[in-house]
A = this chain, B = another copy of it.
Amino acid sequence: MRAAIYNGPGDITVEEVPRPTIDAPTDAIVRVTHTAICGSDLWFYRGESDREAGSRVGHEPMGIVEEVGEAVTSVEPGDRVFAPFLISCGYCEFCRKGLHTSCVNGDSWGGENGGCQGEYIRATHADGTLVRVPDRHADDEDTLRSVLPLTDVLATGHHAAVSAGVGEGDTCIVVGDGAVGLCGVLAARRLGAERIVAMGHHEDRLSVAEQFGATETVAARGEEAVERATELTYGGANHVLECVGAASAMDTAIEVCRPGGTVGYVGVPHGVDEDGLDVFGLFRGNRTLRGGVAPVRAYAEELLADVLQGTLDPAPIFTKTVDLDGVPEGYRAMDERNAIKVLVTL
């Protein structure tokens, strides 16, 4: 089968690789039909985080179940399914409490399970991981395009909003205008936020934020941006969604958070080791830092219901579509910020 491979910074190619097989009774093989390129993929693409050369990439899978192990009960061949960016068992302490990202039996895509930017993947713990798209929606391309972000960015933006404690009538600030930040805006609106201030650097993305429910946008940078957002919220918001992960964005989020407020953060921390985190800014104002790697699986059913009924639609984040051969071009477009997020159809 063919799959995208990371060879080194800036170098992704599509190669012939071994197809994963059913090794355990809880495995399922999924033929990938849709996947995406993630903002977090850019960290290794830009050489800013380590990744083994020759490794398989992609962690946002949707497809058709091809084959299942004998213990799998929740899906069968032919089913349209999607899955979170991590594999989870569904029955351990952490899965039961909705923290699937801390699953004690957890596994990941890549390696022998196959990267999701490839033709086939193996879901170990298929029952705990795969989510069925109901048959009546299973072949509707428009719907599938709206469902795919449930594999990562929509649920991650939702986790930021939930972690920040966004509720009815609240004012919140969303730091970051990438796909996760835009999904954070969608999620905050869905949770009832009355005012949503979106902070970013790109006018085109901030206009998507407005389409998604942002009531105000701040396109400035640095101190000017902090001042503007603080002014708009009369001293900072009680609920701030940090949707980038870079140290500078974390610090911005802390700065625009009102004393006693909460920063919900979901961006993979990046540069925080070197640049530090403004712990004293948190401490002084009793600002809570809550969040982490999004337990996407926990939110799947709830968000899927809204997507299928048409009241939640993240599809506008996909501003470019490529096929498997176009994956290297997709990375380039993301890297050069010519696309918010790239959809890959196989």
Instruction: Please list the residues of chain A having a beta carbon within 8 angstroms of any beta carbon in chain B.
Output: 94, 97, 99, 101-102, 250, 259-260, 265, 268-269, 272-273, 276-277, 279-280, 282-293, 295
Closest B-chain residue to A103, C-beta based? B259
Closest 5 CB pairs of A and B: A286-B292, A102-B259, A288-B290, A289-B289, A283-B292
Residues of B within 8 A of A285 (CB): 102, 292
**A99-B259, A259-B94 known; A286-B279 Cβ under 8 A:** no
How many copies the complex holds: the figure is 2
B292 engages A268 (CB within 8 Å): no
Listed A/B pairs (10) with beta-carbon separation below 8 Å = A99-B286, A102-B260, A272-B280, A273-B279, A273-B280, A276-B277, A283-B293, A284-B293, A286-B292, A289-B290
B272 engages A282 (CB within 8 Å): no
Residues of B within 8 A of A265 (CB): 283
**A94-B260, A102-B260, A259-B102 known; A268-B283 Cβ under 8 A:** yes
**A288-B289, A291-B286, A292-B287 known; A269-B260 Cβ under 8 A:** no
A194 to B97, CA, bound (A): 21
Q: Which of B102, B277, B283 contacts A286 (CB 8 A)?
A: B102
Q: Which of B97, B259, B292 contacts A282 (CB 8 A)?
A: B292
Residues of B within 8 A of A290 (CB): 288-290
A102 to B272, CA, bound (A): 26
**A259-B94, A259-B102, A260-B94 known; A284-B277 Cβ under 8 A:** no
